[in-house]
Chains A and B, each alone.
Chain A
Amino acid sequence: MDHGGEYAPDEKVELLGTWSSPYVFKVIWALTMKGVEYEYVEEDLRNKSGALLSLNPLHKKVPVLVYRGKPVAESDVIVEFIDEAWKDRGGGGRILPEDPYERAMARSWVIFARDVLSPPIWKWFTAPGEEEQEGAREAAVAQLLVLEEELGRKEFFAGDCVGLVDLSLGALAYVIPIYEEITGTRIVTEERLPCLSAWMGRFLSSPPAKDHLPPLEKLKLSFLGERTL
């Protein structure tokens, strides 16, 4: 099922997203890894299109991937879908590892990133006072240290190439520096988190991510807006 150039109409791939969403970028990186051509549709979440509302009626959120006329929603679900639907595509290899135990470990780290790591990072960024901020920062660093150990000397969490866990953590590579700039505090320093620190730069220049990053200045302005709320 390898299509070199243009897809037949029923093979068309469409991605509904917004420029600021890390979940949308995760999907874009996955599509890039597989070399899948797609049409990107920018949604205005304050004025959702009829298409979005009918393709994702339950959540009305982006990203939504449409392939062969059928929608797939929820970024983690979409990434696995991409890995399976285009299983033989892409010099970037499989997004999830082949071995069942390794797959389980990768999925567990995705859950860790979502449920254990993200909350304190968000708390640190939005904390109203210095004391809360410091408490949240230390809590976040504690979880980042767990990741540091997991990464170790590897290039990427998946090994030599970007994989599922890298994609799931990838947005942190550009979000954390912006948060640090805005809060005036550091959370990932070379001293405390040398491996993670190096991974961040490596991810941003990796094949899936290097040409697919959000406009960082614009993002910083939107974060500033969020913080004062």
Chain B
Amino acid sequence: MPSEKQEEAAVRVLGRWPSPYVIRVLIALNLKGVEHEMVAEPKGNKSELLLASNPVHKKIPVLIHNGRPISESLVILHTSTSAWASQAPAILPSDPHARAAERFWAQYVDDKFPTAIRVLRGRVVGDKEEAAAEVSAALWQLEGAFVECGGGKGYFGSDGVGYLDIALGSHVGWIRAVERINGVSLLDAAKVPRLAAWADRLCAHPAVVDVLPDVDRFIEFSVQNDGALAKPVDEASK
């Protein structure tokens, strides 16, 4: 139908590929089968489009749907649930308690991972051992949540990849990269067996495989962009 096609083409995502928040949006749109155009936001100077679309925060990602901008990755995830509600899969479960659980843990993910990962990338100065311990502890909690959420299909979502899978999964690229950069094991099959298996499963999922590139690309990006601040583990713990 011509009008539907027009609507689909009218979905644009402003962002940059290594951002986990951008990755989230792309996974959600892929899951919903929504055609979209990624508009790469240049590093350094903020584009006119970004400043016009997100004047308050000036941050990526921004989803532009029918000319209307929406910011904040988790808000965008929710929007994907409701704006394309008639298209399967449902990103959030229908039961209010189950929805609350996924939202609770997604909030936890965003509290615990971003700063620690930035430290481990060497993007901000910080105690790397402490950061690694924080990530490990958080993953251990999420291992428990995985059992609670009862994703029978091997995901947090009861029907397959869902809101929490996307929220946490979007960090997997960087988690794996900082494992290699720092010589630590975080998504450790011995410590968090379910999550380790889940991470592999998620990365191979059709909606994810093209937007979560290989760990080497993340490492390369980090070396090129974060390298100036990188410190070895023993020096950082002073």
A and B found bound together: yes
**Which B residues are in CB contact (< 8 Å) with A67?**
97
Query: Taking CB as reference atom, which chain B residue is nearest A65?
Result: B100
Distance in Å: Cβ of A11 to nearest Cβ of chain B: 13
Bitwise interface map of A from 57 to 83 toward B, beta carbon under 8 Å scored 1, else 0:
010000000011010111011101100
Closest 3 CB pairs between A and B?
A: A100-B82, A84-B96, A85-B96
Docked complex Cα distance between A85 and B137 (Å): 32
Q: Tell me if A108 is interfacial: C-beta within 8 Å of chain B.
A: yes
Q: Tell me if A107 is interfacial: C-beta within 8 Å of chain B.
A: yes
Distance in Å: Cβ of A8 to nearest Cβ of chain B: 17
**Which B residues are in CB contact (< 8 Å) with A105?**
70
**Which B residues are in CB contact (< 8 Å) with A40?**
none
Q: Tell me if A103 is interfacial: C-beta within 8 Å of chain B.
A: yes
Bitwise interface map of B from 46 to 75 toward A, beta carbon under 8 Å scored 1, else 0:
000000000011000000010010111011
Interface size class of chain B, counting residues whose CB lies under 8 Å from the partner chain: 20 to 34
Q: Are B103 and A80 in contact (CB under 8 A)?
A: yes
Q: Are B82 and A107 in contact (CB under 8 A)?
A: no
Query: Taking CB as reference atom, which chain A residue is nearest B98?
Result: A70
Q: Tell me if A146 is interfacial: C-beta within 8 Å of chain B.
A: yes
Considering only residues 92-122 of chain A, those with a C-beta below 8 Å from chain B are 100-101, 103-105, 107-108, 111-112, 116
Q: Are B107 and A101 in contact (CB under 8 A)?
A: no
Query: Taking CB as reference atom, which chain A residue is nearest B81?
Result: A100
* 8 further A-B pairs in the complex, CB-CB below 8 A; given A101-B65, A108-B72: A58-B108, A58-B141, A77-B107, A80-B99, A80-B100, A85-B96, A101-B83, A107-B75
Q: Are A74 and B104 in contact (CB under 8 A)?
A: yes
Distance in Å: Cβ of B232 to nearest Cβ of chain A: 32
**Which A residues are in CB contact (< 8 Å) with B97?**
67-68, 70, 72, 81, 85
Q: Are A111 and B79 in contact (CB under 8 A)?
A: no
Q: Are A108 and B75 in contact (CB under 8 A)?
A: yes
Q: Are A72 and B100 in contact (CB under 8 A)?
A: yes
Considering only residues 156-172 of chain A, those with a C-beta below 8 Å from chain B are none
Docked complex Cα distance between A77 and B92 (Å): 13
**Which A residues are in CB contact (< 8 Å) with B78?**
103-104, 107
State whether A77 and B79 are in contact (beta carbons under 8 Å apart), knowing that A58-B108, A72-B97, A146-B56 are contacts in the complex. no
Q: Tell me if B76 is interfacial: C-beta within 8 Å of chain A.
A: yes
State whether A77 and B103 are in contact (beta carbons under 8 Å apart), knowing that A104-B78, A108-B70, A146-B56 are contacts in the complex. yes
Residues of B within 8 A of A (CB): 56-57, 65, 68, 70-72, 74-76, 78-79, 82-83, 85, 96-97, 99-100, 103-104, 107-108, 141
Residues of A within 8 A of B (CB): 58, 67-68, 70, 72-74, 76-78, 80-81, 84-85, 100-101, 103-105, 107-108, 111-112, 116, 146
State whether A104 and B70 are in contact (beta carbons under 8 Å apart), knowing that A58-B108, A111-B75, A146-B56 are contacts in the complex. yes
Distance in Å: Cβ of B139 to nearest Cβ of chain A: 14
Q: Are B79 and A104 in contact (CB under 8 A)?
A: yes
Q: Are A112 and B56 in contact (CB under 8 A)?
A: yes
Partner of A116, one of B57, B79, B107, B108: B57
**Which A residues are in CB contact (< 8 Å) with B72?**
107-108, 111
Docked complex Cα distance between A80 and B74 (Å): 14
Docked complex Cα distance between A80 and B82 (Å): 14
Distance in Å: Cβ of A126 to nearest Cβ of chain B: 22
**Which B residues are in CB contact (< 8 Å) with A101?**
65, 68, 70, 79, 83
| 7 contacts across the A-B interface (CB closer than 8 A) | A72-B100, A73-B104, A77-B100, A81-B99, A104-B78, A108-B71, A116-B56
State whether A81 and B100 are in contact (beta carbons under 8 Å apart), knowing that A58-B141, A104-B79, A107-B72 are contacts in the complex. yes
**Which B residues are in CB contact (< 8 Å) with A81?**
96-97, 99-100
Which of A68, A73, A77, A116 has most B Cβ within 10 Å? A77
Distance in Å: Cβ of A12 to nearest Cβ of chain B: 15
Query: Taking CB as reference atom, which chain A residue is nearest B102?
Result: A77
Which of A72, A100, A146 has most B Cβ within 10 Å? A100
State whether A100 and B96 are in contact (beta carbons under 8 Å apart), knowing that A108-B75, A111-B75 are contacts in the complex. no
Docked complex Cα distance between A74 and B100 (Å): 9
Docked complex Cα distance between A72 and B107 (Å): 13
State whether A72 and B104 are in contact (beta carbons under 8 Å apart), knowing that A81-B99, A101-B70, A116-B57 are contacts in the complex. yes
State whether A74 and B83 are in contact (beta carbons under 8 Å apart), knowing that A81-B99, A104-B70, A108-B71 are contacts in the complex. no
